[in-house]
Amino acid sequence: MGFLQTKRGAESMLIILTVLWGSTFYASQEAMKSVSPILLTSVRFFIAACITLIGCRSFSLRKLPLRWALLLGLLFALAISLQNISLSLVSTGRGAFIAYSYALFIPPLQYLLLRKPINPINTLGIILALIGVGILSFQSSNGSFSIAWGEIAMIASSCVFPFYIIYLDRLPPIENFPLFMSCVFFIISLANLPFVFLFETPRFSPSLRGMLWLGYLASIGTAISLSIQFNFQNKTTPVRATAIYALEPVFAALIAFFIGAQIMTLQELLGAALVMFGVLVIEFLPWFITKRKRT
């Protein structure tokens, strides 16, 4: 068995995935200077679908689990469109940390879908992280607090993404993986097209910088990164994968700082710290308590 087929190897690849995902927040903001948010999603995933077709050995759809491609594609399409709308309105760091709040919904969804009970530690983590999301999301205006549409869109995206994570963990073995990924990407691209005309005024103003970021999003940020996730997440557990994904907003904020000089305010840093702390409580406190009982 090769290293990448082991649990540790798979989790190493997921760490690399969080770096790639973290970079897509800033890349999306740059690309959206040339392309409107929802149209960007359609174009990005159409290009990614064409890229993955290059690796196909066969183009037969008979043995592909197309129902899984449809389910995962539609869930991801909705989540990523809401995320891009948000990133057109909020900073990279703030958006990334609010986006990761999807981890808070995984315990209750696991109870509803898998009938696994929610323990007090999960409840504590959810409360802490939701307070952090509130601090991140609310902005003071004339002495009162109001939540902006960008934060609402990102929180909505965070409500959809856990379904994608849970169902991805149930994905059956696939023989022609590049063709399956291409089908998923085409579904995401097509699913977004109606929303382009319903919820935004389509805008495509190509520039060299914008097209370079679009190419990065389609290749590294989509075709490669999602192929890593589909290949390796089911070699670990959803809980451990979610804990690793906690690195994503950290890398997103760091990349935005070093490349885009985007600095988070003290309020945003406090909210982000509470989100991270709440998630870490959910993921690691049970392990720590178990280890203490054994010693």
In degrees, rounded to 5, the angle at the alpha carbon of residue 168 between the alpha carbons of residues 165 and 171 is 165
**Does 107 or 82 have the greater pLDDT score?**
82
The pLDDT value recorded for residue 250 is 72
Is residue 264 classed exposed, middle or buried when 0-12, 13-18 and 19+ CB atoms within 10 A define those classes? buried
How large a percentage of the chain has pLDDT more than 90? 19
* Structure letter (DSSP) for residue 174: -
Residue 144 has pLDDT above 60, yes or no: no
The pLDDT value recorded for residue 91 is 64
The pLDDT value recorded for residue 180 is 93
**Does 267 or 229 have the greater pLDDT score?**
229
Residues 69-95 pLDDT 10s = 999 999 988 888 787 777 667 665 566
Are residues 218 and 44 in contact, defined by beta-carbon separation less than 8 angstroms? Answer: yes
pLDDT level of residue 12 (50, 70, 90 thresholds): confident
Q: Is residue 138 helix, strand or coil? A: strand
**Does 251 or 90 have the greater pLDDT score?**
251
- In 3D, which of 229, 215, 157, 226 has the Cα closest to residue 186? 226
Sequence spans of domains, the chain: 3-294
Can you say whether the dihedral through the CA atoms of 39, 77, 15, 66 is positive or negative? negative
The pLDDT value recorded for residue 218 is 94
Length of the chain: 295
Q: Which two tokens stand for residue 290?
A: 């178990």
Cβ-proximal residues to 239 (8 Å cutoff; 6+ apart), any chain:
106, 283
- How far, in Å, are 161, 227, 253 from residue 259 at the CA level? 27, 26, 10
- In 3D, which of 31, 55, 27 has the Cα closest to residue 43? 31
**Does 149 or 48 have the greater pLDDT score?**
48
Q: Which two tokens stand for residue 227?
A: 């192929």
